[in-house]
């Protein structure tokens, strides 16, 4: 029989009979209200998957530790020096005002992006007492999400077999690069290796440069987060009828290959090995073209006037870095382009007369297009192209995004006040609901912020036992002295 | 009847199989993002009825590349990929009879997914209110370029336009070149997968609380919220005022580099001179690398030359799989830079039974990517290839009570 989730902190919505649509609610319930998730994620995919469920209303408990600092999760280091911070790109070194602060692990932008709407507890899983605490939590939960390397949880006695014995309804989603089986299942592969293995690198490099020109992207990781969230929810759906949870083995490489299906079929059906088109398109004229204006400054100093470290200076970013993208799928679009640009010489060049000839002479077409875009500020060029109904748009940077009127109108950014960082805007959800009203219930979690709540209220730990767990290194809000 | 295998090899699945068995999805999507969303539901057991315009069908049917490089409405590789496991009917939604039939189909469905331009459903008399009137707890997912509201709502946009406006393209690529996008099709499918997360959530909410919902998914925001650098760079910008820019990669600086050319292509490794340097040296077992002068950090260009003089020929004498196997034995993060051909012959994917055989009556037999994750209690499966145009008209309209004659009348009236 499926366990009943939601005792303790959540409102046990699962136990209620489904109300009729006519029943008014004081507050519309969020879709995943009543679902309890344990977040054992590290780096990106796991914590992001947990965020997706948290934003949709699940109660997500992030299980952390004061004795161990997982790589690239709450920082590069727990206590990064100001010099390290200064010489790191913003996603990893962008602490507020570039200052690590007193508790840098609560101020790390990489972490705080996916840390809201969760609860944080700490426990030392290297100690038997910690494992016992976790097993009690798992017995009370609906979902466990992990992207730790294969075997890690198993070795701690926290594998699916052990936990499902006590909680047959548990949905256990384990994501890894290669999956839990197969000859390469224990291969070590970080995000960049997944992109390489899964075929993405060879499908996206500049056409006129080799694959070593690729700069970093971790699409497999990001898609892996989506896959974990989907797998967990699908398993919950199945559980409603079967009463059982299950184990899900998610290979982020396999999940990514699902995003390049047509390329796979080109090989399987046609025996052709697809090559990168760069920014081009298989059947349309397409590209990224430089515009004239200087736009937002490329900062040699941050907005407080402090000089950036040498790594940032090496960025060799010109100030003329405004671009637009354009797709011209057919003759009608080409003619519209010619009208939009005032019929520059070359528009009626015989080489550009048909779809096929334009593709064959794409380099020359690019020259014509860039010849025009370079004479105009980005916004004006985009407006003129759109006036003819063309698929065109600006290549926006972070500053543009923060000021974007559409994102503002959509309520995309959520303003959140957190104790160690103050008030900031964070990217929210990419979808809206007509009825449910998901929002911010909890700012980006401080380390161990909810220890008392979870240990005492959910797990029923006595005050004396709580103090003992503090003394033994399980419960805390700061990293242990041995952590750098 | 198409034959298939769960994650690849032997037994054939005869119908929808997986955690979503019994779920009925009315699929009004076209293109890439919407169909990928409904495909994920179909891969895991939902019965997905794909509704296409009579005679022309989903525009994606006309998008190349094609099987055998021969255009045909059942030969588009993208269409074949996006529409596995789906039943296919034709229906003209723009006429009154078509609308009535659509509402009848909605009444029998749990979930409706659409990707028309915003406002289209209202014009067709099929908006959320109209659907709720026949099915009060329906889950309607609408996937559009910029969402159902907002100043950009009606702007035309292609995949690269949406990605560029999702603001991470700016920070991707070399500083001395233009910003770079991801591989074609990846971004739109990523958006479709994002939409599926909200769709299943709404379904779970319906089961728990009795009420459906209308989900408004904005593809641009799917990119802006993605954890692949984008969302994090927004947070970092708000914290510091510094935007993500295109940086020269460490390719030219790291020893060894991240991308390395070798006998049959490239491999990628993260060694630099950090955590994994000792393992790297141990794996190579070259005495000169153990000498004190090669202790990190290696900034001396002469030492770099000496390393390169050894490293390049060493790599060129070996295949990427050999090199990866060696370094993995020493616990280093390293992977081959695979082409599609490499993936098709990879022993690990083979052992995992990842590719699944599907037979399509026109396109023929091919191996497809299998279900993206392995659910051990309720596995998903590929059970049929993409539908022919109107392939399941007889069956689905039969369920609604239309016999052959009635169906023929609908067809001649242009409804079907």
Q: Name the CATH code of domain B24-233+353-412 (choices 3.40.50.10540, 3.40.640.10, 3.60.21.10, 3.20.20.70).
A: 3.40.50.10540
A405-464: pLDDT as tens digits: 999 999 999 999 999 999 999 999 999 999 999 999 999 999 999 999 999 999 999 999
Token reading at A99: 């200052």
The verdict on domain B250-344 having CATH code 3.30.360.10 is no
Please enumerate, as own/partner, the contacts of B276-281 that have beta carbons within 8 Å and a separation of 24 or more. Answer: B276/B331, B276/B332, B276/B333, B279/B327, B279/B330, B279/B331, B279/B332, B280/B256, B280/B327, B280/B330, B280/B332
Å from B402 to nearest chain A CA?
Answer: 32
Residue of higher predicted confidence among B186 and B300 = B186
Nearest to B375 among A35, A231, A308 (CB): A231
Position A404 confidence tier, pLDDT thresholds 50, 70, 90: very high
We find that the CATH architecture of domain A13-258+409-471 is 3-Layer(aba) Sandwich (3.40)
Contacts of B258 (CB under 8 A, 6+ apart): A192, A212, B249, B250, B251, B268, B269, B270
Tell me the mean pLDDT in the region A176-195. 96
Which residues have CB under 8 Å from A473's CB, separation 6+?
A66, A67, A124, A127, A480
Cβ within 8 Å, pair B220-A406 = yes
A219 has a chain B CB within 8 A of its CB: yes
Nearest C-alpha neighbor of A170 from the set A260, A37, A267: A37
Q: Where in chain A is the domain with CATH 3.40.50.10540?
A: 13-258+409-471
Task: Tokens for A422, please give them.
Answer: 């103050």
pLDDT for residue A26 is more than 60: no
- Decide if B24-233+353-412 and B250-344 have a common fold: no
Cβ distance A249 to B376 less than 8 Å, yes or no, reads: yes
CATH 3.30.1540.10 fits A291-395, yes or no: yes
pLDDT of residue B254: 78
- B273: pLDDT confidence band, cut at 50, 70 and 90? low
Enumerate the domain spans of chain B. Answer: 24-233+353-412, 250-344
- Do the beta carbons of residue B67 and residue B77 sit within 8 Å? yes
Query: What value of ipTM does the predicted structure carry?
Result: 0.96
- Residue B97 pLDDT greater than 60, yes or no: yes
Residues within 8 A of B (CB atoms), A 60-79 only = none
CA dihedral B117, B118, B119, B125 (to 10 degrees): 80
- Determine the Cα–Cα distance for residues B352 and B360; give it in Å rounded to an integer: 23
pLDDT at B299 over 80: no
Tell me: cis bond preceding A214? Omega within 30 of 0 counts. no
Task: Work out the pLDDT band at B330, boundaries 50, 70, 90.
Answer: very high
What are the tens digits of pLDDT across the range A201-260? 999 999 999 999 999 999 999 999 999 999 999 999 999 999 999 999 999 999 999 999
| pLDDT (mean) for B250-270 | 89
A282 touches chain B (CB under 8 A): yes
Q: Is the pLDDT of residue B300 over 90?
A: no
pLDDT tens, position by position, A258-295: 999 999 999 999 999 999 999 999 999 999 999 997 54
CB A134 within 8 Å of CB A2: no
Interface check for A212 against chain B (CB to CB < 8 A): the answer is: yes
**The token pair that represents B149 in the structure block:** 């509201």
SS3 B144: strand
pLDDT band of residue B292 (cuts 50, 70, 90) is confident
* Owner of token pair 């297009």: A369
- Mean pLDDT of the A73-80 span: 96
Q: At what angle do helices B320-329 and B277-284 cross, to 10 degrees?
A: 120
Q: Looking at residue A256, what is its pLDDT?
A: 98
Distance (Å, whole) CA A150 – CA A155: 10
**Which residues in chain A are contacts of B170 at CB distance < 8 A?**
321, 323, 395-398
Do the beta carbons of residue B17 and residue B27 sit within 8 Å? no
CB B149 within 8 A of CB B216: yes
Compute the half-sphere exposure of residue B111: CA atoms within 13 Å on the CB side of its CA: 33
Core vs surface per residue B390-413: b (16+ CB within 10 A) or e: bbbbeebbeeeebeeeebeebbee
CATH 3.30.1540.10 residue spans of chain A: 291-395
**Above 90 in pLDDT, residue B222?**
yes
- Alpha-carbon distance of A358 to A342, in angstroms, equals 19
Q: For chains A and B, what is the number of CB pairs under 8 angstroms?
A: 573
What local confidence, expressed as pLDDT, does residue B255 receive?
83
In angstroms, the Cα distances linking A130 to A63, A155, A457 are 11, 14, 17
**Which range (A278-287, B10-19, B205-214, B380-389) has the least confidence?**
B10-19
- Give the integer Cα–Cα distance in Å for B298 and B290: 13
User: Which of the four pLDDT bands, split at 50, 70 and 90, describes residue A27?
Assistant: low
Q: What confidence category does residue A302 fall into, taking pLDDT thresholds of 50, 70 and 90?
A: very low
Q: Mutate which of A76, A254, A301 to test chain B, going by most B C-beta atoms within 10 A?
A: A254
Q: How far is CA A242 from CA A32, A138, A145, B44, B205, in A?
A: 19, 19, 21, 15, 18
Q: Looking at the predicted structure, is the pLDDT value of residue B383 above 70?
A: yes
Residues of A in contact with B234 (CB under 8 A): 113, 398, 401-402, 413, 425-427
β-strand partners of A146: A174
Q: B130-137: long-range contacts at Cβ-Cβ below 8 A with a sequence spacing of 24 or more? A: B130/B103, B131/B103, B131/B106, B132/B212, B134/B103, B134/B104, B134/B106, B134/B107, B135/B106, B135/B107, B135/B109, B135/B212, B136/A21, B136/B212, B137/A21, B137/B206, B137/B210, B137/B211, B137/B212
Cβ distance A402 to B363 less than 8 Å, yes or no, reads no
Which of B109, B101, B95 shows the shortest CA–CA distance to B22? Answer: B109
Strand order in the sheet with B24-28: A431-433, B213-218, B139-144, B111-114, B24-28, B47-52, B86-90
Task: Kindly report the backbone phi and psi dihedral angles of residue A60, in degrees, each rounded to the nearest multiple of 5, phi listed first.
Answer: -110, 120
CA separation, residue A334 to residues A302, A339, B160 (Å): 42, 9, 17
Query: Which residues in chain A are closer than 8 Å to B251, comparing Cβ atoms?
Result: 212-213
- The verdict on A391 touching B (C-beta cutoff 8 Å) is yes
Token pair, residue A86, equals: 């200064």
Return the percentage of chain A with pLDDT > 90, whole number.
86
Q: Distance (Å) from the C-alpha of residue A40 to the closest C-alpha of chain B?
A: 17
| Residue A310 CB-density burial (10 A; 0-12 exposed, 13-18 middle, 19+ buried) | exposed
B160-202: pLDDT as tens digits: 999 999 988 999 999 999 999 999 999 999 999 999 999 999 9
Q: Is A13 a residue whose pLDDT tops 60?
A: no
Nearest chain A Cα to B222, which residue? A430
- Does the structure show a pLDDT above 70 at A12? no
């Amino acid at each position: 029989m499926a366990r009943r989730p939601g005792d303790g902190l959540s409102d046990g919505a699962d136990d209620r009979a489904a109300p009729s649509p006519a029943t008014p609610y004081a507050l519309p319930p969020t879709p995943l209200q009543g679902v309890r998730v344990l977040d054992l994620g590290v780096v990106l995919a796991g914590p992001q998957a947990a965020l997706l469920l948290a934003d949709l209303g699940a109660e997500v408990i992030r299980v952390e530790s004061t004795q161990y600092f997982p790589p690239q999760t709450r920082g590069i280091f727990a206590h990064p020096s100001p010099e390290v911070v200064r010489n790191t790109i913003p996603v990893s070194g962008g602490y507020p005002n570039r200052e690590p602060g007193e508790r840098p692990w609560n101020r790390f932008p990489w972490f705080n992006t996916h840390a809201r709407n969760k609860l944080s507890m700490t426990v030392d899983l290297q100690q038997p007492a910690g494992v016992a605490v976790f097993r009690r939590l798992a017995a009370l939960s609906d979902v466990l999400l992990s992207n730790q390397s294969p075997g890690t949880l198993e070795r701690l006695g926290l594998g699916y077999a052990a936990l499902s014995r006590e909680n047959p309804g548990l949905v256990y989603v384990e994501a890894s690069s290669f999956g839990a089986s197969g000859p390469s299942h224990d291969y070590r592969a970080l995000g960049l290796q997944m992109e390489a293995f899964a075929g993405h690198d060879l499908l996206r490099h500049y056409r006129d440069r080799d694959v070593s020109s690729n700069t970093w992207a971790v699409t497999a990781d990001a898609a892996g987060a989506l896959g974990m969230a989907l797998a967990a929810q699908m398993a919950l759906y199945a559980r409603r009828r079967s009463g059982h949870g299950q184990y899900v083995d998610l290979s982020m490489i396999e999940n990514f290959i699902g995003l390049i299906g047509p390329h796979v079929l080109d090989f399987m059906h046609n025996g052709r090995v697809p090559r990168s088109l760069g920014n081009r398109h298989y059947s349309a004229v397409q590209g990224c073209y430089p515009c004239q204006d200087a736009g937002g400054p490329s900062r040699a100093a941050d907005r407080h006037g402090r000089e950036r470290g040498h790594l940032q200076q090496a960025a060799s970013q010109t100030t003329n870095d405004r671009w637009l993208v354009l797709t011209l799928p057919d003759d009608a679009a080409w003619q519209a382009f010619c009208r939009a640009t005032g019929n520059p010489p070359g528009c009626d060049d015989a080489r550009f007369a048909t779809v096929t000839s334009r593709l064959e002479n794409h380099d020359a077409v690019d020259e014509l297009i860039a010849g025009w875009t370079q004479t105009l500020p980005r916004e004006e060029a985009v407006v003129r192209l759109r006036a003819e109904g063309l698929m065109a748009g600006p290549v926006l940077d972070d500053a543009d995004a923060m000021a974007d009127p559409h994102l503002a109108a959509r309520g995309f950014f959520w303003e959140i006040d957190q104790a160690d960082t103050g008030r900031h805007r964070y990217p929210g959800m990419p979808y809206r609901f007509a009825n449910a009203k998901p929002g911010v219930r909890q700012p980006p979690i401080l380390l161990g912020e909810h220890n008392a709540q979870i240990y005492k209220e959910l797990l029923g730990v006595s005050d004396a036992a709580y103090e003992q767990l503090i003394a033994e290194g399980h419960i805390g809000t700061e990293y242990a002295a041995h952590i750098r | 009847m198409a034959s298939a295998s769960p994650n690849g090899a032997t037994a054939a699945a005869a119908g929808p199989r997986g955690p979503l068995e019994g779920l009925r999805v009315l699929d009004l999507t076209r293109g890439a993002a919407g169909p990928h969303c409904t495909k994920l539901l179909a891969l895991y057991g939902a019965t997905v009825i794909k509704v296409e315009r009579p005679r022309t069908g989903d525009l994606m049917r006309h998008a190349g590349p094609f099987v055998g490089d021969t255009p045909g409405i059942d030969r588009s590789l993208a269409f074949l990929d996006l529409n596995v496991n789906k039943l296919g009917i034709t229906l003209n939604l723009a006429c009154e009879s078509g609308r009535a039939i659509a509402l009848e189909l909605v009444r029998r469905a749990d979930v409706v997914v659409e990707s028309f331009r915003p406002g289209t459903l209202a014009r067709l008399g099929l908006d959320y209110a109209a659907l709720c009137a026949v099915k009060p707890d329906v889950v309607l997912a609408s996937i559009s370029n910029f969402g159902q509201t907002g100043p950009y709502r009606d702007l035309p946009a292609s995949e690269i336009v949406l990605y560029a406006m999702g603001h991470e393209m700016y920070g991707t690529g070399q500083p001395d070149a233009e910003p770079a996008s991801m591989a074609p099709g990846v971004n739109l499918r990523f958006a479709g997968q994002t939409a599926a997360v909200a769709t299943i959530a709404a379904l779970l909410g319906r089961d728990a609380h009795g009420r459906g919902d209308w989900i408004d998914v904005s593809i641009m925001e799917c990119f802006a919220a993605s954890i692949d650098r984008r969302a994090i760079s927004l947070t970092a910008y708000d914290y510091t005022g510094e935007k993500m820019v295109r940086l020269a990669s460490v390719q030219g600086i790291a020893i060894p580099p991240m991308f390395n050319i070798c006998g049959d292509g490239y491999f990628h490794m993260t060694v630099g001179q950090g955590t994994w340097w000792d393992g790297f040296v141990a794996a190579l077992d070259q005495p000169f690398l153990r000498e004190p002068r090669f202790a990190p950090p290696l900034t001396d260009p002469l030492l770099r030359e000496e390393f390169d003089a050894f490293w390049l020929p060493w790599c060129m004498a070996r295949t990427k799989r050999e090199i990866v196997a060696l370094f993995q034995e020493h616990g280093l993060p390293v992977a081959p830079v695979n082409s599609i051909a490499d993936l098709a012959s990879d022993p690990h994917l083979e052992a995992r039974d990842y590719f699944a055989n599907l037979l399509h009556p026109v396109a023929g037999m091919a191996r497809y990517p299998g279900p993206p994750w392995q659910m051990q209690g309720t596995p998903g499966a590929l059970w049929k290839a993409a539908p022919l145009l109107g392939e399941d008209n007889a069956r689905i309209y039969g369920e609604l009570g239309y016999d052959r004659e009635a169906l023929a009348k609908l067809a001649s009236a242009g409804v079907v």
